[in-house]
Amino acid sequence: MSYNLFLNLTLDKDLKIAFFDSGIGGLSVLAEALRRFSGAEFLYFADEDHVPYGTKSRAEIVRLSLDAVGFLVAHGADAVVVACNTATSAAISELRGAFSVPVIGMEPAVKLAADSFGARPTLLIATPLTIAGEKLARLVGRLECETWSLALPRLVEFAQDLEFDSPAVRAYLREELAKFELERLGSLVLGCTHFNYFKDVLHEILPPHVRIIDGIDGTLNRLASELGGGLKLACGEDLPSRTTKFNADGGVEFDTNSSAHGGKFDAEDLDAGGESVKDKSKQGSEGRGEGEQGKEGGDEQGAERCDESGGKIYYPNGNSVEYFYSGRALDAAQLRKVELFLKRLDAMREIG
Ligand code: DGL
C-alpha cells in the first residue's frame, strides 16, 4: 500500500529555505530535503545554546523560537520549516503572527499512522512538552485509533551527546517501551526529530510487524505546496523515494552510499587552516545575489564570501546549506560532525 505522496521538485534558485530545531534533530528533515529538492539554498539553525526544548516552559520556547526564526528571516529566509515538534507545539501561532514568510510546522504523524495502521494502537514518542501540549490533544482527539503516548526526554540528550546505539540507549528504550503491550501495536510515531537517529535500535526492540513513522515527508510536502508558485517538477530519478523501500518486502536495507550526501565533507574540502570549504559544486552557487550574507561584515560577493564563512556547504543537486549554531556559523570541526549526523540519518531513513 502506498500512503505517501512524494514530490520531486526543483526549487527556484533564488529561494532560501530555512530549517530550525533546538539541535541536531531537524537535520533529519534537512537531509530529506537535500534529496528531494535541487537548486535550493538552505539555512539550518540549531539552537545548541538552549537545547533541550522539550523540558522547558512553553513561554521560554516561544521566546527562543521567535529569536531563532527572527535570525533566519534576517538572513534572507523566504520560508521557515520548524523542524522541531516541540517548537511547533509551543510556538507555531506566535511565529506565524510575527513573521510574514511562510512558517511550516511539524506535527507528530499520528493521523497518518491511524489511517494506515489504525486497526491496532499507535504509540507516540515525543518530548514532555509535545506530549502535554493542547495541540496534540486536539489532534489525537479527532482520531478513531487508540493512541498511546510516551515522553522520552533522555533520548534527546543521548542524541545531542552523539550516543546513538550504546548499551545505555538500548537499556533506556527497553525499559520505557516495556511499559506498553508492544505486540498489540501497529505503529510507533516519532514525534521528535531527534528520535530519527534511533530508528535502528527501536526497530531492534519492537516486534517486527510494528511500523516506525516519522513526520518528515508530510512536512516537506507541505513546504512544497506552500511554495507552489516557486516550484517546478524535476526529473528526480536519482532521488529514490522512501515509498519504494517501504513497500518492498523483506528486511531493511541501509543505504550508506547515498548520492545525496556522499563525499561532501572530505578532508580535501577543507583548506590548510581547516577553516573554509571549497566550492565543489559550482552550479549551486552561480547566479545568486548574496545581499543578506553581506550583513555579516565582508565586502565579498557570492560563493567566495560564503566559502570564507566556514559554515556553508555545497551539495549535489545544486543545493547548499549554511549552518548556524544559535546564530554562529559552524567551524570546520563542527561541520565534520554534521557529516556524521547526515551519514547516520542516511542509514536510518528507510527503516519503517
Ligand atoms: N527535536 C525537537 C522535537 O522535534 C525537540 C528536542 C528537544 O529539544 O527537547 O521535538
Digit-coded pLDDT (tens) for 106-142:
999 999 999 999 999 999 999 999 999 999 999 999 9
Query: Region 300-318: what's the mean pLDDT?
Result: 57
Question: Do 269 and 179 share a structural domain?
Answer: no
Question: Do 10 and 136 share a structural domain?
Answer: no
- What tens digit of pLDDT does each residue of 39-58 get? 889 999 999 999 999 999 99
Q: 129 burial class (0-12, 13-18, 19+ CB within 10 angstroms)?
A: buried
Across 207-227, b (16+ Cβ under 10 Å) vs e yields eeebbbbbbbbbbbbbbbebb
Question: Do 79 and 101 share a structural domain?
Answer: yes
> Three cell numbers at 49?
545554546
In this predicted structure, the answer to whether residue 300 has a pLDDT above a threshold of 80 is: no
Domain boundary, last residue among 169, 190, 214: 214
Rounded Cα distance between 173 and 169, Å, is 6
- What tens digit of pLDDT does each residue of 163-207 get? 999 999 999 999 999 999 999 999 999 999 999 999 999 999 999
The span from the first CA to the last CA of the chain, in angstroms, equals 13
CB atoms closer than 10 angstroms to residue 175: 9
Q: Which residues contact 76 (CB under 8 A, 6 or more apart)?
A: 16, 43, 291, 292, 293
The predicted structure's pLDDT at residue 343 = 92
Pocket of ligand 1 (CB under 6 A): 21-23, 25, 51-54, 84-86, 127, 130, 156, 192-194
Domain boundary, last residue among 194, 214, 234: 214
Give distance in angstroms: CA of 231 to centre of ligand 1.
29
Q: Is the distance from CB of 106 to CB of 219 less than 8 angstroms?
A: yes
H/E element, 93:
helix 85-98
Between residues 311 and 241, the one the model is more confident about: 311
Domain of 303?
A: 3-106+219-348
> Is residue 192 among the annotated active site residues?
yes
Question: Do 101 and 11 share a structural domain?
Answer: yes
Q: Sorting pLDDT into bands at 50, 70 and 90, what band is 230? A: low
In this predicted structure, the answer to whether residue 96 has a pLDDT above a threshold of 90 is: yes
Rounded Cα distance between 156 and 160, Å, is 6
What percentage of the chain exceeds 70 in pLDDT? 72
Question: Do 163 and 136 share a structural domain?
Answer: yes
Q: Is the distance from CB of 3 to CB of 240 less than 8 angstroms?
A: no
Q: Is the distance from CB of 318 to CB of 327 less than 8 angstroms?
A: no
Question: Do 128 and 150 share a structural domain?
Answer: yes
Give distance in angstroms: CA of 194 to centre of ligand 1.
6
Give distance in angstroms: CA of 297 to centre of ligand 1.
32
Return the CATH number at 173: 3.40.50.1860
Tell me the whole-structure pTM to 2 decimals: 0.79
The predicted structure's pLDDT at residue 2 = 36
Across 93-127, b (16+ Cβ under 10 Å) vs e yields ebbbeebebbbbbbbbbbbbbbebbbebbbbbbbb
CA 90 to each of CA 18, 58, 64, 232, 316: distance values in angstroms, whole numbers, following the listed order = 19, 5, 11, 33, 35
> Three cell numbers at 152?
522520552
Between residues 248 and 324, the one the model is more confident about: 324
Question: Do 154 and 100 share a structural domain?
Answer: no
What percentage of the chain exceeds 90 in pLDDT? 64
Q: How many domains does one find in the chain?
A: 2
The predicted structure's pLDDT at residue 293 = 29
Residue type, 72: L
Question: Do 225 and 168 share a structural domain?
Answer: no
Domain boundary, last residue among 214, 233, 255: 214
Mean pLDDT (the chain) is: 79
Least confident residue range of 29-38, 212-221, 246-255, 318-327: 246-255
Question: Do 160 and 99 share a structural domain?
Answer: no
Question: Do 339 and 223 share a structural domain?
Answer: yes
Mutate to test the pocket of ligand 1, among 20, 154, 193 (most ligand atoms within 8 A of CB): 193
Mutate to test the pocket of ligand 1, among 30, 47, 61, 127 (most ligand atoms within 8 A of CB): 127
Could you tell me what percentage of the chain is helix, strand and coil, using 3-state DSSP and rounding each to the nearest 5?
45, 15, 40
Question: Do 119 and 65 share a structural domain?
Answer: no
Question: Do 301 and 241 share a structural domain?
Answer: yes
Give distance in angstroms: CA of 305 to centre of ligand 1.
32
Q: Which residues contact 50 (CB under 8 A, 6 or more apart)?
A: 22, 56, 64, 326
Rounded Cα distance between 241 and 350, Å, is 9
The predicted structure's pLDDT at residue 11 = 52
In this predicted structure, the answer to whether residue 273 has a pLDDT above a threshold of 70 is: no
